[in-house]
Amino acid sequence: MGILEVNGVNKRFGGLQALGDVNLDVQEGTCHAIIGPNGAGKSTLLNCLVGKLAPDTGSVIFQGNPVLGRKPHEINQMGISRVFQTPEIFSDQTVLENVLIPCFARRDGSFRMHAYESVNDEGDILTQAEEMLEEVNMLSKKDMMASSLSRGDKRRLEMAMSLVQQPQLLLLDEPTAGMARADTNNTIALLKEIKEKRNITMVIIEHDMHVVFSLADRITVLAQGTPLVEDIPENIKGHPKVREAYLGEAQV
Amino acid sequence: MLGLNNADRKLFLIVVCLVAFAPFILNPFPDNVGMAQFNAGYPDLMQKLVIFGIFAIGYNILFGLTGYLSFGHAAFLGVGSYAGVWMMKLLTMNVVPALIVSVVVAGLFSLLIGYVSLRRTGIYFSILTLAFAQMCYSLAYSVLTPLTGGETGLTLSLNDPRVIGVTEVDGNIPVPHFFGLDMQSAVDLDVAGWSFTFSTGYYFAGVIMLVAFYMSVRLFRSPFGLMLRAIKSNQNRMSYTGLNARPYTLAAFVISGMYAGLAGGLMVAMDPLAGAERMLWTASGEVVLMTILGGAGTLIGPVLGAGVIAYLESIISTINDSILHSWFQALPDSLENFLVTILHPFVGHGWHLTLGLVFMGIVIFLPGGIVEGGRRIGNLFSRKKADDTETAPEPGE
């Protein structure tokens, strides 16, 4: 039994079967990659996991608790955190404030009328946030406005915002999209470190095979909304079905 | 001190000084010169300045922090006023119960309206609040006449019970007071042609505004304020960070509604009558203008915006053609008449035109309001100073 179980999830958009009977079993402490050509339903699946979309049928169980039917903030409070394809950050606020917000969310829950103390008096939270920024090498930029960061830094900031909540499950939607090679390698290193140090389970959607094969413990290949195969990376590389559906396109 | 950081403490002390010395600051011209037209140091106007200051400070907590543009906040001001007058009719002329009940009733109203309106965001939210406010206005104007006095407004009368106060004093309706301190009393000080008025009501309202301002500073700096700004910044990220935006926006809405109720109650404490026109949509629009003019989301902005608008309204609307003529007396007749004709539409009843131009100028050239203007001027000076120190000759040269 895994930390995350997806059983028979179906989702239709009008006449289009976006997800057809998807089953997934993610083991605790592993990195599970979902790959597939464009339009295979990868993002739809992720949206179903975080409460943005409601699947038509099927169930999603996280640590023995059903996920479906809960709101995004409730799912996050269960310990599932998500990193978006284009970084979603609080652009009008400073880098430090961006990390403080998830710190408070983790400590105080989804709502607390916390209007008496000043943010500057919250020593523990400030230390926690600064340590996290240090870890992603962004402490020197803590007073910058988040909107003025480079794309790579925004990505790192978003990662820091997710990690500071110490989630049990991290969902990554193309974490290296639009990054230069060097940045991609930094991100891979960062994710590897996170996995080893914090033992966070990850589900990663990725186009870049370099990233997938350096991180994933298991890979599921989606095509037209249905899982083709699920196996360890070594077996996926040479799998004929996968070549046909996905890798073939890239290797011609 | 006071749990504020250095910059905020400085700002707070500046506001304290402004409020304390307003009777001097707003009366820069001696009584007998023509410019005395621009003096604003009389009690009615000063009270209006601080009361609208409170209204705008509260509105800024909602609009400035969360970005939710409410077009119905005048309803809470009106509800607060009615509640205040009723307390003066039923209980006592002491303003304390009136103010408390104003805040509470306005809070309950905003809880109800906010609960429904906050189901939508953006323009739909604005329209919902506008609709609610107009409903409140119509109810107050006609349907609920026994409760609100309808067209004539709600006034005190000699037959009011005032169970813990007195019904009448020497055959007159008693005046509002704060434990015996008469709200309408004032002390005049004449110094070499200047005359300064120190009104009890003004200082009472001023102290309450300072408390309200202090509370808003604390709120801005608190984790709660941080969350409210997060809502404005990215509500999507907020929910994927495990935060429920709804209770936060509702709390901000109710707090700002209570500020509006306090302002309404204070209006009644200064002058015990309440009319439905206080709830009209133009009154709601005015507080939006004040907040944007001063600088939405800044601490001091709304206070400045409220001050500027209340000042323009009172001063420019009293200027008429004969005053204009007296200004340009020295010029040749044809030029004098020409200038008066040009300026005529902008004064008196045309003060809205002036306000409109000021507002357009600020929104186009200073999107951050008066506060941004001040900051730019400040930057100019500090850069100059930095340049000076750079080019200053080394000692010993």
pLDDT in tens, B256-308: 999 999 999 999 999 998 989 999 999 999 999 999 999 999 999 999 999 99
Instruction: Using an 8 Å CB-CB cutoff, list chain A residues near B230.
Output: 90, 93, 101
Q: What is the pLDDT of residue B387?
A: 61
Banded model confidence at residue A246, pLDDT cuts 50, 70, 90? low
Give Cβ neighbours of residue A182 (< 8 Å, ≥ 6 apart).
none
Handedness of CA B182, B183, B185, B190 (dihedral sign): positive
Mean pLDDT within A54-78 = 91
Q: Which residues pair with A205 in a beta bridge?
A: A34, A173
Q: Does A115 touch chain B (CB under 8 A)?
A: yes
B76-93 residue pLDDT tens = 999 999 999 999 999 999
C-alpha B59 chain-centroid distance: 9
Q: Helix (H, G, I), strand (E, B), or coil: what is residue A16?
A: strand
Architecture of domain A4-79+167-251: 3-Layer(aba) Sandwich (3.40)
Q: How many CA atoms are closer than 13 Å to the CA of A9, on its beta-carbon side?
A: 30
Nearest CA in chain A to B244: A110
Evaluate whether B278 touches B72 at the Cβ level (below 8 Å). Answer: no
Residue type, B3: G
Whether A113 and B224 lie within 8 Å, measured CB to CB = yes
B169-201 residue pLDDT tens = 888 888 899 988 888 888 888 887 788 888 999
Q: Which residues pair with A59 in a beta bridge?
A: A7
Give Cβ neighbours of residue B215 (< 8 Å, ≥ 6 apart).
none
**Does residue B51 have a pLDDT over 90?**
yes
Which of B222, B240, B255 to mutate to test binding with chain A, by most A CBs within 10 Å of its CB? Answer: B240
Q: Could you write out the three-class secondary structure of A90-156? A: CCCCEHHHHHHHHHHHHHHCCCCCCCCCCHHHCHHHHHHHHHHHHHCCCHHHCCCEHHHCCHHHHHH
Evaluate whether B231 touches B249 at the Cβ level (below 8 Å). Answer: yes
**Does residue B392 have a pLDDT over 50?**
no
**Helices B200-221 & B223-233 angle (0-180, nearest 10):** 70
Q: Please give the ipTM for the structure prediction.
A: 0.89
Sheet holding A31-35, edge to edge: A80-83, A169-173, A201-205, A31-35, A218-223, A226-231
Of A81, A92, A165, the CB nearest to B233: A92
Banded model confidence at residue A241, pLDDT cuts 50, 70, 90? confident
Evaluate whether B336 touches B61 at the Cβ level (below 8 Å). Answer: no
DSSP A1: -
Q: Which residues pair with B84 in a beta bridge?
A: none
The residue among A132 and B328 whose pLDDT is bigger is: A132
The residue among A12 and B168 whose pLDDT is bigger is: A12
- Spell out the domain ranges in chain A: 4-79+167-251, 95-165
B324-339 residue pLDDT tens = 888 888 888 888 888 8
Neighbours of A135 (CB within 10 A): 18
Nearest CA in chain A to B236: A88
Q: Which residues pair with A14 in a beta bridge?
A: none
Task: Specify burial of residue B305 (Cβ count, 10 A radius: 0-12, 13-18, 19+).
Answer: buried
Strands B194-199 and A201-205: unpaired
Using the structure block, give the residue that is written with the tokens 């200038």.
B339
Evaluate whether A90 touches B233 at the Cβ level (below 8 Å). Answer: yes
**Does residue A145 have a pLDDT over 60?**
yes
Instruction: Using an 8 Å CB-CB cutoff, list chain A residues near B251.
Output: 113
The C-alpha atoms of residue B241 and residue B238 are separated, in whole angstroms, by 5
Nearest chain B CA: its distance from A75 CA (Å): 7
Evaluate whether A93 touches B234 at the Cβ level (below 8 Å). Answer: no
Nearest CA in chain B to A86: B237
Mean pLDDT within B99-104 = 96
Q: Helix (H, G, I), strand (E, B), or coil: what is residue B169?
A: strand
The C-alpha atoms of residue B156 and residue B150 are separated, in whole angstroms, by 14
Dig out the tokens for B263 from the structure: 């302002």
Instruction: Using an 8 Å CB-CB cutoff, list chain B residues near A170.
Output: none
Q: What is the largest CA-CA distance in chain A?
A: 63
Q: What is the pLDDT of residue B223?
A: 94
**Does residue B383 have a pLDDT over 80?**
no
**Does residue A59 have a pLDDT over 60?**
yes
Q: What is the pLDDT of residue A224?
A: 84
The C-alpha atoms of residue A84 and residue A204 are separated, in whole angstroms, by 11
B280 vs B72, B131, B312, CA distance in Å? 9, 11, 20
Task: Specify burial of residue B157 (Cβ count, 10 A radius: 0-12, 13-18, 19+).
Answer: exposed
Evaluate whether A91 touches B233 at the Cβ level (below 8 Å). Answer: yes
Whether B221 and A120 lie within 8 Å, measured CB to CB = yes
What's the distance, Cα to Cα, between the start and end of chain A in Å?
A: 39
Number of residues that make up chain A: 252
Residue type, B47: Q
Q: What is the pLDDT of residue B396?
A: 40
Whether B225 and A106 lie within 8 Å, measured CB to CB = no
- Could you please report the per-residue DSSP string of B36-71? GGG---SHHHHHHHHHHHHHHHHHHIIIIII----S
Q: What is the pLDDT of residue A237?
A: 77
Q: What is the CATH number of domain B6-279?
A: 1.10.3470
**Does residue A213 have a pLDDT over 50?**
yes
Q: What is the mean pLDDT of chain A?
A: 87
A12-53 residue pLDDT tens = 888 888 888 888 899 988 999 998 888 888 888 988 888 888
Nearest CA in chain A to B221: A118
Handedness of CA B372, B374, B375, B376 (dihedral sign): positive
Banded model confidence at residue B393, pLDDT cuts 50, 70, 90? very low
H or E, element range at B181: strand B181-182
A68-127 residue pLDDT tens = 889 999 999 999 999 888 889 999 999 999 999 999 999 988 898 888 888 888 889 999
Q: What is the pLDDT of residue A190?
A: 83
Q: What is the pLDDT of residue A251?
A: 45
Q: What is the mean pLDDT of chain B?
A: 89
**Does residue B386 have a pLDDT over 80?**
no
Nearest chain B CA: its distance from A97 CA (Å): 8
Nearest chain A CA: its distance from B288 CA (Å): 21
Give Cβ neighbours of residue B392 (< 8 Å, ≥ 6 apart).
none
Among A176-180, B236-240, B379-383, top mean pLDDT goes to B236-240
Whether A106 and B239 lie within 8 Å, measured CB to CB = no
Q: Does B251 touch chain A (CB under 8 A)?
A: yes
Mean pLDDT within B209-219 = 95
Mean pLDDT within A55-73 = 90
Strand locations in chain A (E): 4-13, 16-26, 31-35, 57-62, 65-66, 80-83, 169-173, 201-205, 218-223, 226-231
